[in-house]
Amino acid sequence: MNKTTPALALVLLATIVPACASTIARQSPQALITQEQGALSAPDAWAFGPETDSEIAANWAGIIHDETLLALMSEALAANPSLRASAESVRRSEAFLRQSRSGLLPSISAGAGASGSSDFEDFDLAERYSASLDASWEADLWGAIRSDILASEFDLQSARAVYRASRESIAASVARAYAVAIDAGHQVELSRATLTAQVETVRIVNVRYDLGAADRREQVLAESDVASARDSLELALALQRSAIRGLEVLLGRYPSGTMTVPDTLPEIEDIILAGRPADLLRRRPDVLSAEAGVRSAFASTDAVRGGRWPSLSLSGGVSSATDTLGDALDPAALALSVGIRLADTLFDGGLTDARIDAAEAGGKIALANYGASVLDAYADVEGRLDDVATLRNRAGFVETAARNARETLQLAEIQYKEGAIDLLDVLTFRQRSFQADRTLLALRRAETESRIALYLALGGAIDVAE
């Protein structure tokens, strides 16, 4: 033991000195992340919309007041195949983290064997039995193993953020598909109402024709519009079935197109509180994933740098080899071995330096991607805020236009019955009224979708059980 202690001291001295000499000041990932954020000069309040300095809702139930929709969102989160794949990615990252942590612990192995040998002339099998217990441990002198563990921890954080982003995307997709399916039903109702009105017009034209007050041209024109109205109804029914199938797929159901949805759009808060731009960086999962990616890349770089220096490993074991099985564990037959090993690469053709350069470049790539993610997130929220405000401003105009178009049509129908105007005028006013009602329905659906999209852009629910 007296000979081993000086040797170990020399080993430690030989490894510590070059490490100290190579230490250089490097910026921390946090400092670089902060610089990347500051380069965008984000304001304290959003540029669009009145939603500036209030707390963001913690979950979808905070903005959606529709129990049916909330239940469907929960159903999709439990059954969607894509989300299950994302959940398995999290479990894989957890396994990689456990794998990295194992590097700090010693490796212990045991073995046992039996063999026999004999010459060919006088076959007399000589038996030989062996047993061994070995342990080895590599000292993490330069923190490479700890850096690898840290990188795995950040990778796990990133995977969890991606999983949460997948959950929120699916929840928002269900809400949008739900609104689309309901709107498709409204479009079917509007098409049916238009067809009914066109059929009634044909009846009136036929009566006027029999009385000699209308000519064949008006009959043909009215019948043509009936055919067009029937075609529009068929198209609306097909779009409704397609919308329902899309919702069924998101729910993990067979896409039969037979699901029943309510006839009223979900009630969603008129004002979606958006907090401040700084809040977004601590909430939105794609930004959090990108940030974890930066930290993982820098930790991986530290692990690669640690491979530049010598490694120190300790080993020990107990073994035996006897002619009889019963003596294999006899203390007199046991042999103890211990060892210490210092290893370093003297020349590798620049492989280590190249690995370090690649790792450092990977960190810079991750940092640039983080900056792009932050900028995209800001742009996404500003765009959604603008959409919500624009649709809110348009609502009054579109409602007025639709109401006036319906009133104009009613007056035109009365005038036609009195013979004051031509049928073509009535059909023109009906088309305008029909289109105005379609625009109004589309606007109401767009208002619903814009609020859903805004909440998703803000990061969606944060109280997610993973």
Q: Does residue 445 have a pLDDT over 90?
A: yes
Q: Does residue 42 have a pLDDT over 80?
A: yes
Q: 286-298 burial string, b = 16+ CB within 10 Å, else e?
A: bbbbbbbbbbbbb
Q: Does residue 14 have a pLDDT over 60?
A: no
| Gap between the Cα atoms of 223 and 205, Å rounded | 10
Q: Does residue 63 have a pLDDT over 50?
A: yes
The whole-angstrom distance between residue 417's C-alpha and the CA centroid of its chain comes to 60
Q: Does residue 273 have a pLDDT over 80?
A: yes
Largest CA distance in the chain: 130
- Look-up of token digits 């029943």: 260
Choice among 111-120, 216-225, 343-352, 373-382 with the minimum mean pLDDT: 111-120
pLDDT tens per residue across span 88-117: 999 999 999 999 989 888 989 998 888 777
Q: Does residue 21 have a pLDDT over 60?
A: no
Q: What is the pLDDT of residue 345?
A: 81
pLDDT band at 327 (very low <50, low <70, confident <90, very high): low
pLDDT tens per residue across span 231-244: 999 999 999 999 99
Q: What is the pLDDT of residue 123?
A: 62
pLDDT band at 119 (very low <50, low <70, confident <90, very high): low
The average confidence (pLDDT) of the chain is 87
SS3 for the chain, per residue? CCCHHHHHHHHHHHHHHHHHHHCCCCCCHHHHHHHHHHCCCCCCCCCCCCCCCCCCCCCHHHCECCHHHHHHHHHHHHHCHHHHHHHHHHHHHHHHHHHHHHHHCCEEEEEEEEEEECCCCCCCCEEEEEEEEEEEEEECCCCHHHHHHHHHHHHHHHHHHHHHHHHHHHHHHHHHHHHHHHHHHHHHHHHHHHHHHHHHHHHHHHHHHHCCCCCHHHHHHHHHHHHHHHHHHHHHHHHHHHHHHHHHHHCCCCCCCCCCCCCCCCCECCCCCCCCHHHHHCCCHHHHHHHHHHHHHHHHHHHHHHCCCCEEEEEEEEEEEECCHHHCCCHHHEEEEEEEEEECCCCCCCHHHHHHHHHHHHHHHHHHHHHHHHHHHHHHHHHHHHHHHHHHHHHHHHHHHHHHHHHHHHHHHHHHHCCCCCHHHHHHHHHHHHHHHHHHHHHHHHHHHHHHHHHHHCCCCCCCCC
Q: Residues of the chain with pLDDT > 90: what percent?
A: 51
Across 250-265, average pLDDT? 93
**Are residues 336 and 316 in contact, defined by beta-carbon separation less than 8 angstroms?**
yes
Choice among 202-206, 285-289, 387-391 with the minimum mean pLDDT: 202-206
Q: Does residue 10 have a pLDDT over 50?
A: no
Sequence letter at residue 123:
F
Q: What is the pLDDT of residue 125?
A: 67
Q: 251-270 burial string, b = 16+ CB within 10 Å, else e?
A: bbeebeeebebeeebbebee
Q: Does residue 465 have a pLDDT over 80?
A: no
| Gap between the Cα atoms of 208 and 32, Å rounded | 81
pLDDT tens per residue across span 369-408: 999 999 999 999 999 999 999 999 999 999 999 999 999 9
| Gap between the Cα atoms of 296 and 222, Å rounded | 70
- For residue 136, the cross-strand partners are 107, 315
- Look-up of token digits 């490097």: 26
Q: What is the pLDDT of residue 346?
A: 84
pLDDT tens per residue across span 141-165: 888 889 999 999 999 999 999 999 9
Across 176-200, average pLDDT? 94
Q: Does residue 367 have a pLDDT over 80?
A: yes
Q: What is the pLDDT of residue 18?
A: 46
Q: What is the pLDDT of residue 122?
A: 64
Q: What is the pLDDT of residue 120?
A: 64
